[in-house]
Amino acid sequence: MLVFKFGGASVKDAAGVANLANVVKKYAGGPLLIVVSAMGKTTNALEKLTKAYFEQHDSMHILYDEIKQYHYGIMHELFGSEHPVFDEINNTFVEIDWMLEDEPVDTFDFIYDQLVSVGELLSTRIVDAYLSQSGLNSKWLDVRGYIHTDNTYREGVVDWTKTCESIQQDIPAMLSQNIIVTQGFLGGTSENFTTTLGREGSDYTASIFAACLNAKSVTTWKDVPGVLNADPKLFTDTVKFDELSYAEAMEMTYYGATVIHPKTIKPLQNAGIPLLVKPFGDPEAPGTKIGNTSNQSFEKAVIIVKDNQVLLSVSAKDYSFITEKHLSNVYNIFAQNLLKVNVLQTSALSLSACFDFIDERFEKLMGQLQENFNVKYNSNLKLITLRHFEQGLIKQLTEGKKVLLEQTSRNTAQIVFASN
C-alpha cells in the first residue's frame, strides 16, 4: 500500500484540489491512504484567530469570517451551490462557533489545538467529497481516533503501541474497499481532546500510518521539484538532490529544513520505508528519494535559514563558572516550556542559546530563568546552518552583517546574525 501526503500549497484553491484528484487517479488501482494538510495559509489564519480569541480582540470575528469565506469560495468552484459537503463544513465550523461564544478559560496551548485543528478537518472533508464526485471510492477518516497522544498540547507525544493497534485493527479492511482521506498534524487524547503534533506535522502523520501499516513508500507532494540544497525563495542557484540518506535528511530537518517535518524520518528508517518528495505540479517527475543511500557526495552546501530567532545568554548571579549543573538547569527550563535549542555555546561565565521565538512561551521562560540567573537577549535574528560547507561560503553569507554567534564543526556551521 501507498501513503500520500498533500501539503497546504497543493490544495490552496479549487484547481489544486482538482489536481490532487488527477494525481490520485493515477494510483487508484491499489490500497492508498491520503493525508491532507489545511488549505493554503489556513493554519496561519487560524493561529491569528486563536491569538485574537485568547486576547478577546475585536478582530476575532473578522478573522473568522475570512476563513469561512475562503473555504466556501473553493467549495462553490468545486461543487456549485448544492452539495452535501456544505452541511458537513457548516457542522465543522460549529466547533469554532461554540468556542468563540465563551471567554477563554483554558491554557493557550489547549485552545490552540482545539481551534487550529479545524483547518485539517475542513480540507479533508472537501477533498473527500471531490474525490467521490470524481468517481473514486473515497472514505473520510477522523485521525483523532487512530493517532493517540498524551496531553502535551501543540507537541503531542504519540503512544505508538496504542496507535499501531488502532490503525492495524481497522485500516487494512477499509483500504481494501476505499481510498482513505485523513488529516495530517492531528492526534487525540484519552479524554477525546484534540492535540497537534507540532507545526508542519502532516509529514509525521503520514510516516506514522506508513510504519504501522508497513507501507511500500510514503510520497509527500510539494510545490518544489524535490529536496533542494536551499530555499528557492531565498536563493536562485539551488540544486535538487536525486537521493538522500535517512541520516542526512534527519540532520537537515533537525536544523530547520522545512520541506520535511523533523519527526518524519525515524519511523520510516526503522521500518525501512522510503520517503519520496515529489512536485504536485509534475507528478511524473522523479523528485527526491530518501532511503538507505550510502556514499553520498555534496557538490553544493546545504543552506538552511531560520527567521524570528532569539539569542539568549545567562550567567550566574554570583559570577561563578558555568558548570554542568547550570547547563542541566537551563535545559530543563527550556524543556518545560517546549522550546528547542537550535544552537548552544558556553564560556567560563555564560551560556548562550539560540531558539525560535514563540511569544506565549518566551515570557514564561524568561521569568523562570531570571529566578536564578542574569539574563540578556537579542530578538528578531536569523540563523543560518550550513552542511558540507566551505569557508568561503560563510564569508559570502555573512558579509556586511552583524554576527552575534558563530560555531563550526566538521560538517556543520551555524551563524546567528541580526536581521537587516
Report, in this order, helix, strand and coil percent for the chain, each rounded to 5. 40, 25, 35
pLDDT at 167: 98
CA distance 317 to 313: 13
Q: Among 387, 391, 342, which residue's Cα sits nearest to residue 249? A: 387
DSSP letter (8 states) at residue 38: P
Q: Which three cell numbers stand for residue 62?
A: 473578522
pLDDT of 200 over the 70 cut: yes
166, 201 contact by CB (below 8 A): no
Cβ neighbours of residue 102 under 8 Å, at least 6 residues apart? none
Please report, rounded to a whole number, the percentage of residues in the chain having pLDDT higher than 70.
Answer: 100
- Tell me the pLDDT band of 297, cut-offs 50, 70 and 90: confident
- Tell me the pLDDT band of 201, cut-offs 50, 70 and 90: confident
CA angle (154 as vertex; 304, 378 as ends), nearest 5: 50
Phi, psi for residue 175 in degrees, rounded to 5: -65, -25
pLDDT at 258: 82
Q: Parallel, antiparallel, or unpaired: how do β-strands 217-222 and 243-245 relate? A: unpaired
Which domains occur in the chain, in start order? 2-291 (3.40.1160.10), 302-418 (3.30.2130.10)
Q: Which three cell numbers stand for residue 86?
A: 456544505
- Tell me the pLDDT band of 295, cut-offs 50, 70 and 90: low
CA distance 153 to 98: 20
Averaged pLDDT of the chain: 94
CA distance 36 to 184: 6
The model's pLDDT over 91-137, given as tens digits with 9 standing for 90+, comes to 999 989 999 999 999 999 999 999 999 999 999 999 999 999 999 99
The model's pLDDT over 46-93, given as tens digits with 9 standing for 90+, comes to 999 999 999 999 999 999 999 999 999 999 999 998 899 999 999 999
- Residue that the C-alpha cell 555573512 belongs to: 398
Phi, psi for residue 219 in degrees, rounded to 5: -120, 125
CA distance 298 to 195: 38
Q: Among 403, 401, 360, 399, which residue's Cα sits nearest to residue 378? A: 403
pLDDT of 299 over the 90 cut: no
pLDDT at 259: 83
Over residues 224-233, mean pLDDT: 92
